Structure 1
Amino acid sequence: MSPTSVRLCRGAVVAVLAGTLLAPVTAGAAPAAVPDVFAAGTPGPSPSEPDVRPLSPDVTRQLDASVRRVMREANVPGVTVGIWTPGQRGYVRSFGVADKATGRRMTPDLYMRIGSETKTFTVTALLQLADQGKVGLDDTIDKYVDGVPNGHKITLRQLAGMRSGLFNYSEDDDFFKALTSDPRRPFTPQQLLAYSFRHPVLFQPGEKFDYSNTNLILLGLVVEKKSGQRLGDYLKQHVLDPAGMKDTALPSGSRFPRPHAQGYTDQTANGEVAETAGWNPSWGWAAGAMYSTLDDLRIWAPTVATGELPDGKRMISRAMQRQRLVTPATPIPGAGYGLGIFNVHGWIGHNGSLPGYESLTIYLPATRTTLVVLLNTDINHDNEEPSTLFGQAITRIISPRHVFDLPAEPAAR
């Protein structure tokens, strides 16, 4: 991405931004396991190291210190971290401030925008329709949407797996100007696609992995066409309500329930830091416009990773879930990407980023550990995403054999 990119729908965990660090708000947690990325001078895990370390008082102190260190170094205003492993203590902490102007503390109950984690919900809707025979994953997109470059070759599977070759509309210069000149303006899916379709395709379908928000806008339109419902309504009825996720939604316009954290970004027309809670996320739509809470994302992590709802019923069939979790390698070392989902050194899930907010929701099947990180800035620190920094720091402690080191992908530039 270009240096001026607005990082709208990315993923990873670590936060940056100026703000006062306050004492943590407690609540519970448990560790997870990570791969082979370690800080200089830090010994690697021994072969006998568990996939996830129990959250002893000593490990909890390490986590508190590590989160504070990342906040301080990356200048992050506020962050909430939740870690849960069945049969172990949980870890839930909020650090810093939700609003720098008022000093209001960050707390675990706040609504937060989740950026590209939206992709996991949109693709889940698509897979449900595929289970019902209403779409085929190997159908080409021209069957559902007219005017797509190479539409007679690009399949729904390739769109969900980020292997379509379509230009990412959020990297278009005119889109960036339109967004930053009026961050509260609404965008329609058709307007977003127009920014993409005026560019030539980058490669032939299936040739390589290339993260593109354009893919998810198209899949959102497919879900609407074949379900007969607006995407937000479909997700509420068929995904969110069955999972018991009452505080998660794909909003229309800039709706953002209270209490929520203020967001801070430097992805602006003049490069100055701005507050973003009132910005309209419609430019991310099916690729990045959703909001959620810590408690809801705790539900979502195992649900999306296993395809099973909390009540034991299937969200999507086992056969479809197996297809989803085929995660071919990407150019990112240690990371594979399936159908709207990452596998990073064993952690399954997604990260998200849009102006002012970043998030990470991942699940380690080996120990059934869930990690959720939510922060109220997307400002880079030494060219690294804050979410990436948090993800690395936390998993190095709780799951040193499974380190989550995925860089967040810019969504809007």
Structure 2
Amino acid sequence: MPSGGTHVVAHLPGRRARLPLAVAALLAAASAGALVRPAQAAQTPPAPHDRTLQRDLDRLVGASGGPPGAVAVLTRGDRTEVYRAGVADVRTGQPPRPTDHMRIASIAKAFSGAVALRLVDQGRLTLETTLGSRLPELPVAWHRVTLRQLLHHTSGLPDFTASPDFRAILAEDPHHVFDSRRLLEFAAGEPLAFRPGTRYQYSNSDNIAVALLAEAATGRRYEDLLKRLVYRPLGLEHTSLPHGHRLPRPALHGYAVDPPAPPEDVTELFDTSGVWASGAVVSTPKDLGRFIRGYAGGSLFSAHTRKEQLRFLPGAASEPAGPGVNSAGLALFRYATRCGVLYGHTGNTAGYTQLAAATPDGRKSLTFSITTQTSKSLKPALLNHLRKVQEDFACALLRH
């Protein structure tokens, strides 16, 4: 479910509530039964290109409360290095693979950014298009919010995932099917968090509004716009925006980890209609690398639009924060590491924490996926460990 923000634990009859959900609510899953411990199931990976990086990844998986599995893919032109540790599925012991499907969480926001900026290039939208001009049915107080502010997370829109009504529905039925195009109704009664354009605040509502603007401007469904404007131009064959709770196979399973209890599989705990354009995209490490090279490298839109995208707000971090010092552009973040700069996006949701980043020229990319959720308020020590390892991988990418 959504990434970032407050964590709430809700109790369901007959279920053990111990798994926080970033922003909205992470509801407890039924016991997964007897599971194979990752250390028992782990298989020896192929000989790594860099033993230090492999050791970093092994230690991350072996950390207390760490993920059952991790996979990092470094691509430099036509050369790709795959590092993996632990398992993709604790039941089978299958190792993680770059062709495994996974939930990319808030990296889906970069996909909505790609759609919106391509429509800006086509003249269907401008960065100053307001919600009121295209979506007059939304609250009057929201009408002056612009596309630029939505993509920059400076809109002030209240986050629909914080709504008590939204959380109550999930508590009652985690597989509840939402009308994705009406998700903003959960926040419609709340005032703006601040005057638009004056502050940065990460909000899942922003990218729902972006998708609705794209639909209003084109008369096409957002899912179709993703295919036409993003998947096909970049050759993404295993990326989709599904509704429902099923994950395509083969899959990199996501887990809640709370030692000494065994990991619990939360891969299909929630129906993704409740996050839609803000976090429901499914992809593979291989496809995600292809996407971020094109998107962060600027190949999808004009130099003028890219210049606007790269107007960064210093200190504004993605959720969770990526490696190095973070700054926010339009549906893109700048990660200033000790070895240089990458552009990308992160995400976290039940069972997953994700990073996709690329060099500004789009020639090199890093995707880094772990199979448990962490954020600044959920397992902060694990997040600090993760960011350090991500920066080591970023340096390896940038130095060669």
Q: Same fold (TM over 0.5)?
A: yes
Aligned counterpart, 2:32: none
The answer to whether the 8 A contact 2:296-2:362 is kept is: no
Change beyond 3 A, Cα 1:273–1:192? farther
Question: What letter corresponds to residue 315 of structure 2 in structure 1?
Answer: T
SS at match of 1:197: coil
Aligned counterpart, 2:333: 342
The answer to whether the 8 A contact 1:154-1:164 is kept is: yes
Cα RMSD between the aligned structures? 2.9
Of 2, 6, 11, the match for 1:2: 6
Give % identity.
Answer: 28
SS at match of 1:374: strand
**Pairwise CA distance, 1:99:** 1.9
TM-score, structure 2 normalization: 0.80
**Pairwise CA distance, 1:277:** 2.6
Change beyond 3 A, Cα 1:238–1:382? closer
Aligned counterpart, 2:371: 376
| 1:14-93 → structure 2 map (5 Å cutoff) | 19-20=38-39, 22-26=42-46, 57=49, 60-73=50-63, 74-86=65-77, 90-93=80-83
User: 1:288 and 2:279 equivalent?
Assistant: yes
TM-score, structure 1 normalization: 0.78
The answer to whether the 8 A contact 1:266-1:274 is kept is: no
SS at match of 2:314: coil
Aligned counterpart, 1:102: 92
Aligned counterpart, 1:405: none
**Pairwise CA distance, 1:8:** 6.4
Question: What letter corresponds to residue 142 of structure 1 in structure 2?
Answer: G
Question: What letter corresponds to residue 330 of structure 1 in structure 2?
Answer: G
Question: What letter corresponds to residue 42 of structure 2 in structure 1?
Answer: L
- Alpha-carbon distance in structure 2 between the residues aligned to 1:70 and 1:292: 23
Of 301, 306, 311, the match for 1:321: 306
Aligned counterpart, 2:147: 156
Change beyond 3 A, Cα 1:129–1:86? closer
Between stretches 212-221 and 362-371, larger displacement belongs to 362-371
Select the structure with the greater relative contact order (CA < 8 A; seq sep ≥ 6).
Answer: 1
Aligned counterpart, 2:213: 222
Change beyond 3 A, Cα 1:388–1:277? farther
Q: How many residues align?
A: 355
Aligned counterpart, 1:394: 390
User: 1:171 and 2:189 equivalent?
Assistant: no
Question: What letter corresponds to residue 292 of structure 1 in structure 2?
Answer: S
Of 251, 260, 277, the match for 2:268: 277
**Pairwise CA distance, 1:366:** 7.2
Question: What letter corresponds to residue 117 of structure 2 in structure 1?
Answer: L
Question: What letter corresponds to residue 384 of structure 1 in structure 2?
Answer: P
Aligned counterpart, 1:365: 360
- Alpha-carbon distance in structure 1 between the residues aligned to 2:67 and 2:182: 33
**Pairwise CA distance, 1:137:** 1.2
Change beyond 3 A, Cα 1:77–1:181? farther
The answer to whether the 8 A contact 2:293-2:362 is kept is: no
Aligned counterpart, 2:291: 300
The answer to whether the 8 A contact 1:378-1:386 is kept is: no
User: 1:147 and 2:142 equivalent?
Assistant: no
Change beyond 3 A, Cα 1:352–1:122? same
- Alpha-carbon distance in structure 2 between the residues aligned to 1:263 and 1:110: 12
- Structure 1: state its 5+ residue gaps: 10-16, 29-56, 309-314, 403-413
- Alpha-carbon distance in structure 1 between the residues aligned to 2:251 and 2:308: 36
- Structure 2: state its 5+ residue gaps: 9-19, 25-35, 318-323
- Alpha-carbon distance in structure 2 between the residues aligned to 1:247 and 1:375: 19
- Alpha-carbon distance in structure 2 between the residues aligned to 1:167 and 1:266: 30
Question: What letter corresponds to residue 396 of structure 1 in structure 2?
Answer: D
Question: What letter corresponds to residue 139 of structure 2 in structure 1?
Answer: V
